[in-house]
Amino acid sequence: MQYILALVCLLGSSYVQAAPAENKYLQAGDLPKCSENPDEAGDCVKEIMNTLIPRLRMGDPDLKIPSYDPLTIDRMSFQYASGAVSGRISVRNVKLFGFAEHKIDKINIKVNGDKVKLRIVSKLPKMNIVGNYKADMMVNQLQLKPKGNFNVTLFDVENHVSTDGEIYKKDGHRFLRLTDIDASPKIGDMVIKANGIFPDPELDELALNVANSHWRDIYGIILPETRNSWAPLMLRLINEALIHVPLDEFTKSSS
């Protein structure tokens, strides 16, 4: 069960006390070490993560781990097709604010040999996402090429994350590498703001009024449709953090 302690990285292990400059791995510092007992490990990891999350904004420059609140995404593209709407949307200079307010509620861990399954439920009171967008869309027979700025705020987010991973050895330590990830956020409310949808600002306002009135339908369609774009990005970011965290550092020896 000691393998699952790399969960610390899922929401930012970058603030764990760094080892001396010549050491490229992180140390647990003042954090508790967890039992290998599966009945106790989940609550222990939850305590570690809830301790770390408020501290993580600045990252670790020595290990070249950036701050995560705001989380910055340079660019991302989505190919979208549903009903009468199809096309491509590209976003740039995206910043996500609010991750530091995460609170972990539940963690479920399953280990089978070197295979690890993690199920995490967390809550976030508010997340704000801002950036630039450009699209090439077909709506029925009408072609639209909007571009501009967007500002989306999510309220009362309950995030359900499922991951699969595997253990590997390096430098005499064991590490976790995620091989798949899925997230199903449930949202209490959403407010969408944007410009450049239509040349006429009044049509922009009309479109936004419709979007904000039907955000649940829009969100329910867009999340699974865009998974092929955001899931690889999440995997890459998490695995880049996990390479710095030897699992042995976060477990206590069996008595």
- All domains of the chain, ordered by start, with CATH? 2-250 (3.15.10.30)
pLDDT score, position 86: 82
pLDDT score, position 8: 42
Position with higher pLDDT, 184 vs 55 = 184
Residues belonging to the chain: 255
pLDDT score, position 56: 67
pLDDT score, position 198: 87
Q: Averaged over 211-228, what is the pLDDT? A: 83
Place of tokens 């998974």: 227
pLDDT score, position 241: 78
Q: Are strands 142-144 and 147-170 parallel, antiparallel or unpaired?
A: unpaired
- Surface-to-core class of residue 120, CB atoms within 10 Å of its CB (0-12 exposed, 13-18 middle, 19+ buried): buried
pLDDT score, position 218: 81
Q: Averaged over 114-119, what is the pLDDT? A: 89
CB within 8 A of 137, min separation 6: which ones?
Answer: 80, 85, 86, 87, 88, 89, 143, 144, 145, 146
Of 37-51, 166-180, 199-213, the poorest mean pLDDT is in 37-51
CA 101, distance to chain mean position in Å, is 13
pLDDT score, position 245: 79
Query: For the chain, give me the number of helices (H) and strands (E)?
Result: 4, 7
Of 18-32, 110-124, 162-176, the poorest mean pLDDT is in 18-32
Cis check: omega of the bond before 70, within 30 degrees of 0: yes
Query: What CA–CA distance (Å, rounded) separates 185 from 194?
Result: 22
Position with higher pLDDT, 30 vs 202 = 202
* Percent of residues, the chain, with pLDDT higher than 90: 26
Q: How confident is the model at residue 10 (pLDDT cuts 50, 70, 90)?
A: very low
Query: What CA–CA distance (Å, rounded) separates 103 from 51?
Result: 10
Mind listing the pLDDT tens digit for each residue in 60-109?
677 666 777 888 888 888 887 777 778 888 999 999 998 888 899 998 88
Q: Over 80: is that where the pLDDT of 148 sits?
A: yes
Query: What CA–CA distance (Å, rounded) separates 169 from 246?
Result: 9
pLDDT score, position 73: 86
